[in-house]
Chains A and B, each alone.
Chain A
Amino acid sequence: MRWLISFVLLALVVGALGLWLTRPGTDGPEVLAGLTPDETHGETVFIAAGCASCHMAKGASGEGKLVLTGGQSFPSPFGTFKAPNISTSPQAGIGDWAAIDMWNALHHGTSPEGAHYYPALPYGAYIRMTPQDVVDLHAYMMTLPADETPSQAHDLSFPFSIRASVGAWKALFLRDDWVMTGDLDDQLLRGREIVEGLGHCAECHTPRNALGGLKTGSDWLTGAPNPAGRGTFPDLVELDWSEGELVEYFTSGFTPEFDSAGGHMALVVENLAALPVEDREAVAAYIAALPVE
């Protein structure tokens, strides 16, 4: 009997230690101290990060894309994620967030209440955003309309329905270092900032391991099955389009065969087309430089 009590106590201690070690991380406001928000640059960050593509109502267009009402579904092997309302409603959205709350969400996947966010919010990529990017993004998003639609709960299977499990995921996979390294020129650095950071391209175009972590090295951006079921996301290493053809695709949506972008990629193209042409060229240069070492 005594050994059983000891065992249970030990299990509780180990469990508590594990939870403590993987508790949601945060930074204090000092990481953003002294930065002046620039709304115009914030809009560029907003577009490059594709916020609206997931957080607008399904099928929204034009000005409607700026109403971040949430509600789109994202099926995965772990269950279905529902994008939350991130409009400026203080009740239904994030209207009461300070810039540091946005920093902690995008860098640590931690809510203002100190809970883990699921990595369906691609903080595994956004972790590479600079403090200035986050301050500017926050300033811009606070100019967007409020919407009172309540966020819906995710529909996940056990044990992924336990938010604490995200702590273990972060301990295993959340890294802030760059994937493409070496002696990169300014254009490749900008391309890397968009592809690996803001644009979170790898979220769809890189295969994942059994626990949902992105593979790196020679697997980076080599394509992956669509978690929604049918179809696959293309392998960007094998893709033999020229940089000029890539820029054309990012601008008009036309492939070299004059097919056109479809599905979620059509939304990505709308975002890329709204960025300066130098940014589209930088992304093309990064893709042409694949594979990573």
Chain B
Amino acid sequence: MVLTKSLTLGLAAAALMATSDIAVSQTDLPPAVSARKAQMHLYAFNLATLGGMAQEKIAYDADAASAAAGNLAKLSSLDASAMWVPGTDAATVAGSRALPALWDNMDDVITKAVALNEAATEMNAVAADGLDALKAAMGPLGAACGACHKAYREPE
């Protein structure tokens, strides 16, 4: 029960596969893997808005920042347990980059997923407070994405 609850908290966050350069087209993938990749694309799309402002490539806009940050907070709180079913690791499915170790360390994965949800929630809380606040929240968000990729995603 505890596990299910934790999963609900945001296993969605276990960001493990590429958002680009996949040799296998998404239509050939098992639906669960395809869904994971779709979720990662949604993260990247919304991060591009916040990151573009942080890097001052696009003008800061409090409403747009808030909308993107709100999406990240929601995305990171989806119940993604059905997307991370056993048998969909990189050793089994061509086009998946999720290392088998992910399924051996589910407690750690959930901890990292919760940390991403917290970083996204923090971004959502400050995104409308100005460019400096947005920039400051960007680092922890990147670190939270990277924590899972470092441990559980195969290099390209």
Contacts and interface: CB of A to CB of B under 8 A. Distances in A.
A165 interface: no
Chain A contact-residue range equals 20 to 34
B155 A257 contact: no
Given A253-B145, A254-B47, A254-B51, A259 B150 contact: no
B153 A257 contact: no
A232 B156 contact: yes
Interface-centre pick from B15, B48, B141, B145 (highest chain A CB count, 10 A): B145
A61 B84 CA distance: 25
Contact of B153 (A233, A252, A254, A262): A262
Nearest to B56: A244
Given A233-B155, A234-B156, A258 B19 contact: yes
Interface of B is mostly: helix
Contacts of B156: 231-232, 234
24 contacts: A230-B154, A230-B155, A231-B155, A233-B155, A244-B55, A248-B55, A252-B139, A252-B141, A253-B142, A253-B143, A257-B19, A257-B48, A258-B43, A258-B47, A258-B48, A258-B51, A259-B19, A259-B40, A260-B142, A260-B146, A262-B154, A264-B155, A266-B150, A269-B146
Interface of A: 59, 226, 230-234, 244, 248, 251-254, 257-267, 269
Interface of B: 15, 18-20, 40, 43-45, 47-48, 51, 55, 90, 138-139, 141-143, 145-147, 149-151, 153-156
